Amino acid sequence: RPASIKDVAAAAGVSPTTVSHVLSGNRPVNEETAARVRGVVNRLGYVPASLARSLQAGSTSVIGLLIPDISNTFFAELAKGAEDAAHDLGYGLILCNTEFDADREDRYLGMIRSRFIDGMVYASGSAPSRRRLEALMGKFPIALADEEVEGLEGALIATADHEAGGRLVGEHLRELGHRRALMLTGPRALRSGVARAHGFVQAFRGDVVEREGDFKEASGHRLVAGLLEEGGLDRTAVFAANDLMAFGALTALREAGLSVPGDVSVVGFDDIRAASLAHPPLTTVHQPAYDVGRTATAQLLQYVTRGEVPPASRHTLPVSLKVRGSTAPPAR
C-alpha cells in the first residue's frame, strides 16, 4: 500500500495538516519540523494527491541530474549538456548536488522511487549508495555519466576514456625526460581516478609515488605541502587526477618557492576553463564534459519517453592532451 499523509504525520510526530503545510509551502512551518517531515516523506516515498494525479497520467516530464560537486566547473559543463538534451525533448532537469555526501545522494535517489522524476542521470560514484542504485536500476530509467560504478556493468553509460587520458600524460612526461613523478589520485573507490592512474603508470614506465586525494583543490595542496615539509619533493613532475587538485599543487609549490615548470612540471585532467587561465597555463587532458552530459541524457531519454528501463550500452568519448606552460623537460 502506498504511504498516506497520515503515515507521514504519525512517523514525523506531527498532524496531517502540518505535513500538508510543509509540502505546499502555503503556511510557514518551523524549519526543524519541516526538515523532519521532508525526511519522512522521502523515506516512505509518500506522493501527494496532486502529484499522484500527474503521475497517473504517466510522467512529470522532469529528470534528475546527480553530481558530486557543483563548484567544480567540469560538472557545470556536464550539466549544460544534460540540460540541452532534456530541453530538446521538452523535459525539465532538477540538479541534485551531493557534495560527495552519501545521505544526500540517498535522498535524491529516493525521488526516483517516489516518481517525482521520470529518470536520473547519475554523474557521481559515491561508494555507499552503490547497492541502493543497483536496486533502483532494474526498475527505473537511470544512466551513468562520467563515472563508472563497479558492479553496475549492465548500465547505460557515457564516459570519457579515462585510461587513455592517463596514458597521454605518461607518454608526454616520459618524452620530456621525466623519470620520477608524484601522482595525486582520486579516492580509490572511484573508477575514473583508478583508470587514469593505471594508464599513467603503464605509459610513464618510471618511478611513481602515489598519494590519495579527493578530487578537491584543498587535497592537492595538502598532499604536496605535506611532502615538501617532510623533507622536500624528490620528483620532477606531478600528475594530479583532476584540474582542481592540480591547482592546489601549483599553489603549494609556489608557496614553497618552487617554480613551475622550472623546478617541477604539473599536469591536470579535465581541461576546465580555469586550466588555461592558471599561472602558468596548465597542461591537462581535455575531457568532453558537455558531450558526456548530453550523450548520457539523450540516450536515457529515448527510454524515459517510452517508460522503459535502458539496456546496457557504453559510449566512450575520446580525450586529448592540451600541452601548455606547466610542463617542460626536467632541470635535473
Hey, is 145 helix, strand or coil?
strand
Site string for ligand XLF, 103-142 (x = CB under 6 A): ----------------------------------------
Measured from the CB of residue 287, what is the shortest distance to ligand XLF in angstroms?
6
- CB closer to ligand XLF out of 222 and 286: 286
- CB closer to ligand XLF out of 236 and 242: 242
The site for ligand XLF, by CB under 6 A, has a size of 11
- CB closer to ligand XLF out of 42 and 242: 242
Measured from the CB of residue 109, what is the shortest distance to ligand XLF in angstroms?
18
- Residues between 51 and 80 with contacts to ligand XLF, criterion CB under 6 A: 72, 74
Measured from the CB of residue 251, what is the shortest distance to ligand XLF in angstroms?
17
* CA separation for the pair 233, 27 (Å, rounded): 60
Hey, is 119 helix, strand or coil?
coil
- CB closer to ligand XLF out of 100 and 140: 100
Angle, CA 283 vertex, CA 280 and CA 288 arms, to 5°: 130
Q: Closest residue (Cβ) to ligand XLF?
A: 242
**Residue spans of alpha helices (H) in 1-44:** 5-12, 16-24, 31-44
- Residues between 301 and 330 with contacts to ligand XLF, criterion CB under 6 A: none
Q: What are phi and psi of 137, to 5 degrees?
A: -65, -30
Measured from the CB of residue 246, what is the shortest distance to ligand XLF in angstroms?
10
Q: Which three cell numbers stand for residue 304?
A: 524515459
Site string for ligand XLF, 200-239 (x = CB under 6 A): ---------------x------------------------
Using alpha carbons only, how large is the chain's radius of gyration in Å?
A: 23
Q: Which residues contact 50 (CB under 8 A, 6 or more apart)?
A: none
- CB closer to ligand XLF out of 64 and 330: 64
Measured from the CB of residue 22, what is the shortest distance to ligand XLF in angstroms?
34
Q: What are phi and psi of 192, to 5 degrees?
A: -55, -45
Binding of residue 147 to ligand XLF (CB under 6 A)? yes
- CB closer to ligand XLF out of 21 and 162: 162
Q: What amino acid is encoded at 124 in this protein? A: S
Measured from the CB of residue 214, what is the shortest distance to ligand XLF in angstroms?
10
Q: How many CA atoms lie within 13 A of 19 on its CB side?
A: 23
Contact 28, 96 (CB under 8 A): no
Site string for ligand XLF, 249-288 (x = CB under 6 A): --------------------xx----------------x-
Measured from the CB of residue 301, what is the shortest distance to ligand XLF in angstroms?
22
* CA separation for the pair 238, 250 (Å, rounded): 9
Q: Which three cell numbers stand for residue 70?
A: 557543483
Burial class (CB in 10 A: 0-12, 13-18, 19+), 308: exposed
Q: What are phi and psi of 214, to 5 degrees?
A: -130, 25
Q: Which residues contribute to the site for ligand XLF (CB under 6 A)? A: 72, 74, 146-147, 186, 192, 215, 242, 269-270, 287
